[in-house]
């Protein structure tokens, strides 16, 4: 058993977004990290949940040693829920999301 907290890192920009990996790397200083994110960009999906389609989850290429990464073919909410319920090896202590590649202003 570890004394380090477990942090789930996610985003709405997809598993390959650089900001997600910068965030996960920063968290590694104080926690173990599990990355679970949408397979593709899902910006603007807010709290949407997939209801009428089966979710597929597969291992993703992790850019960080010792960090498991998964991609979900659903919304950001789907990714977080699936990470908590099915992928985390133990209790998630914190969820972090980001980092957005540009301004998040809604409207200019």
Please write the tens of the pLDDT for every residue from 42-74. 987 777 888 888 899 999 999 999 999 999 999
Indicate whether 83 belongs to any domain: yes
Compute the distance between CA of residue 57 and CA of residue 81 in angstroms, rounded to an integer.
12
Does the pLDDT value for residue 107 go beyond 70? Answer: no
Compute the distance between CA of residue 44 and CA of residue 76 in angstroms, rounded to an integer.
10
Task: Say which range, 11-15, 32-36, 44-48, 94-98, has the weakest mean pLDDT.
Answer: 44-48
Cβ 29 vs Cβ 54: under 8 Å: no
DSSP 8-state assignment for residue 106: S
Indicate whether 47 belongs to any domain: yes
Domain count, the chain: 1
> What CATH number corresponds to the domain at position 58?
3.40.1210.10
Task: Say which range, 35-39, 49-53, 73-77, has the weakest mean pLDDT.
Answer: 49-53
- For residues 5 and 106, which has the higher predicted lDDT (pLDDT)? 5
Cβ 59 vs Cβ 70: under 8 Å: yes
Indicate whether 64 belongs to any domain: yes
Q: Which range of residues forms the domain containing residue 81?
A: 6-97
Four-residue CA torsion sign, 3, 59, 65, 104: negative
């Amino acid at each position: 058993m570890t004394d380090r907290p477990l942090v789930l890192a996610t985003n709405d920009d997809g598993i390959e977004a650089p900001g997600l990996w910068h965030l996960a790397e920063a968290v590694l200083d104080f926690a173990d990290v599990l990355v679970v994110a949408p397979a593709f960009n899902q910006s603007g999906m807010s709290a949407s949940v997939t209801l009428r389609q089966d979710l597929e989850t597969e291992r993703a290429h992790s850019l960080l040693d010792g960090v498991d990464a998964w991609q979900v073919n659903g919304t950001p909410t789907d990714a977080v829920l699936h990470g908590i319920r099915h992928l985390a090896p133990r209790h998630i202590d914190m969820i972090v999301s980001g980092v957005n590649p540009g301004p998040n202003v809604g409207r200019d």
